[in-house]
Amino acid sequence: NNQFCDAGTAYGKLACGTATAPTSKILIKGGTVVNAHHKEVSDVYIEDGIIAAVQKNIVVADDVKIIDATGKYVMPGGIDPHTHLAMEFMGTETIDDFFSGQAAALAGGTTMHIDFVIPVDGSLSAGYEAYVKKAERSAMDYGFHMAITKWDDTVSREMEVMVKEKGINSFKFFMAYKGSLMISDELLLEGFKKCKSLGALAMVHAENGDAVFEGQKRMIELGITGPEGHALSRPPALEGEATSRAIRLAGFVNTPLYVVHVMSIDAMEEIAKARKSGQKVIGEPVVSGLELDDSILWDSDFHRAAKYVMSPPIRAPGHSKALQAALSTGVLQLVGTDHCTFNSTQKAMGIDDFRKIPNGVNGLEERMHLVWDTMVASGQLSVTEFVKVTSSECARIFNIYPKKGAILVGSDADVIVLNPNSSFEISAKSHHYRTDTNVYEGRRGKGKVEVTIAGGRIVWEEEELKAVPGWGKYIKMAPFNYLFDGLERADAEYLSSLRAPVMRSSIHTT
């Protein structure tokens, strides 16, 4: 059973299976069932990939697989709102594809992710078709966001098709990566207006790309070509500026905004201010931002330092603690990973020039464990809040709740069993990615996902992974999530607040 089912795509024990294998009947007994707002000891019965019953003392026939969860937590599988699998980026392609990234995710208790479709030469439909192919061998459920990289009538029409026919309800605008993905403020405004009319959520990568470009030139002129130049060239102020600008432009258009990978106090404080004033702004910290600091970027070994290069950069000590506090108080709402992995050879593309180091770090497999250890085991988040920030809030924002993100009768059977008394240790030697390094190497902590059930199938149990191409489904997401409720009222108020125009005479006197 411990053979490689898909040689070379995942490390560790990986059992085989077939795409058409039926789901089993499963009873999870005696655990504490946790939802975003409630927890209680209960049994959970699963049949045909769906949660069929949640109640005490369920009695079942002999053909039902029983999992004893006494003393453990039974929770919705994690949903990662931010991944890049098989992404072509900075002259290369991420080493983890949909299958290997998802296999690793399942081993870490994440049962769904939302990946970013990158248009092909600006074309959304070509980008969509390319990602449908990339995701063909999916082992777990997934959805798509879509990036917007240029603006014309075709793009505007294609956005409509993506929302109305393809099940995409969010569009991402890159305010950085000048010369490739970066867009202008004019495009941002057009895009925000279109998002609003379609009920789609606008998302931003918030860094001032022009200033980053200037910062990079400055570092090269100073002779700083190593990974530390990456952090020095794009300081927190540039993230704060772009976050503020995106928030103000979204406010001007009156559409909800989702700020991805909030990495700095500067950006977080802009979100806090906007939310306090009543604006609908969601802030997503990522695990690397909550966990790491930038000191390793100054390591004299290029390879050790380069694996931490991502954008916005991992920040100086202090930022991660502030982001944790913001998550625990609700200023930030859900945790992603921005999982975007490149191996050592790919990272070495930038050995003479930090601008050529492919940007991105791992996190898909580690997110649930690290959020548990850093936020729950430390007392910063309750167990129910853990479910909220790792699963339910993502499902709500992207309009798939309670199909996803809940242990309720009728919800998809994406369920994990977490043992709070067990522990984890992270290493590239044992992780399930294709990449050869791990930015959390050696990190240990409390709390371990012992069982993962995805779509009603046990895919992770007793350290054995059963990730099977074809077991994952594409999840369509409908527009007009809860953030759009009441927006028309604000629009009407805006119109009535305009002071009446002055009627001027067109007759000129001499």
**From the centroid of its chain, how far is CA 199?**
20
**Which of 124, 125, 163 lies closest to 147, judged by CA?**
124
DSSP run (H or E) holding 457: strand 457-461
By CB under 5 A, which span of 191-199, 338-346, 350-358, 490-498 interacts with Zn ion? 338-346
Structure tokens, 90: 């900075």
d(CA 478, CA 314): 33
Instruction: Rule CB under 5 A: say whether 367 interacts with Zn ion.
Output: no
Residue 310 CB, nearest approach to Zn ion (Å): 8
Residue 284 CB, nearest approach to ligand URP (Å): 11
Cβ 397 vs Cβ 404: under 8 Å? no
Side-chain half-sphere of 361: how many Cα atoms within 13 Å? 27
Q: Residue 196 binds which entry of ligand URP, Zn ion, none, with Cβ cut-offs from 5 to 8 Å by kind?
A: none
Measure the CA dihedral 316/310/428/300, to 10°: -60
Give the bridge partners for 27, in sequence order: 45, 66
Q: Residue 391 binds which entry of ligand URP, Zn ion, none, with Cβ cut-offs from 5 to 8 Å by kind?
A: none
| Pick 94 or 324: Cβ nearer Zn ion | 94
| Pick 310 or 458: Cβ nearer ligand URP | 310
| Pick 231 or 416: Cβ nearer Zn ion | 231
d(CA 406, CA 388): 9
Residue 11 CB, nearest approach to Zn ion (Å): 24
Residues forming the site for ligand URP (CB under 6 A): 84, 205, 261, 310-311, 338, 340, 359-360
User: What is the phi-psi region of residue 417: left when phi exceeds 0, alpha when psi lies from -120 to 50, beta otherwise?
Assistant: beta
| Pick 128 or 177: Cβ nearer Zn ion | 177
d(CA 118, CA 88): 8
By CB under 5 A, which span of 204-212, 314-322, 403-411, 447-455 interacts with Zn ion? 204-212
Residue 358 CB, nearest approach to ligand URP (Å): 8
Q: Residue 359 binds which entry of ligand URP, Zn ion, none, with Cβ cut-offs from 5 to 8 Å by kind?
A: ligand URP
Helical ranges in 200-343 per DSSP H? 209-221, 228-233, 236-253, 265-276, 287-291, 302-306, 319-328
Q: Residue 310 binds which entry of Zn ion, ligand URP, none, with Cβ cut-offs from 5 to 8 Å by kind?
A: ligand URP
d(CA 28, CA 270): 43
- Of all residues in the shown chain, the one whose CB is closest to ligand URP is 359
| Pick 207 or 412: Cβ nearer ligand URP | 207
At 101, is the secondary structure helix, strand, or coil? helix
| Pick 338 or 393: Cβ nearer Zn ion | 338
| Pick 137 or 261: Cβ nearer ligand URP | 261
Restricting to residues 205-264, which ones interact with Zn ion according to CB under 5 A? Answer: 205
For residue 483, what are the CA distances in angstroms to 261, 335, 486? Answer: 19, 18, 8
Residue 106 CB, nearest approach to Zn ion (Å): 21
Structure tokens, 267: 């950006």
By CB under 5 A, which span of 146-154, 158-166, 203-211, 421-429 interacts with Zn ion? 203-211
Q: Residue 169 binds which entry of ligand URP, Zn ion, none, with Cβ cut-offs from 5 to 8 Å by kind?
A: none
**Which of 300, 176, 317 lies closest to 228, judged by CA?**
300
| Pick 251 or 358: Cβ nearer ligand URP | 358
Question: What angle (nearest 5°) sits at the alpha carbon of residue 162, between those of residues 412 and 136?
Answer: 55
- Of all residues in the shown chain, the one whose CB is closest to Zn ion is 205
Instruction: Rule CB under 5 A: say whether 338 interacts with Zn ion.
Output: yes
Give the bridge partners for 339, in sequence order: 83, 361
Residue 260 CB, nearest approach to ligand URP (Å): 7
Structure tokens, 390: 């790792």
Binding residues for Zn ion (CB under 5 A): 205, 338
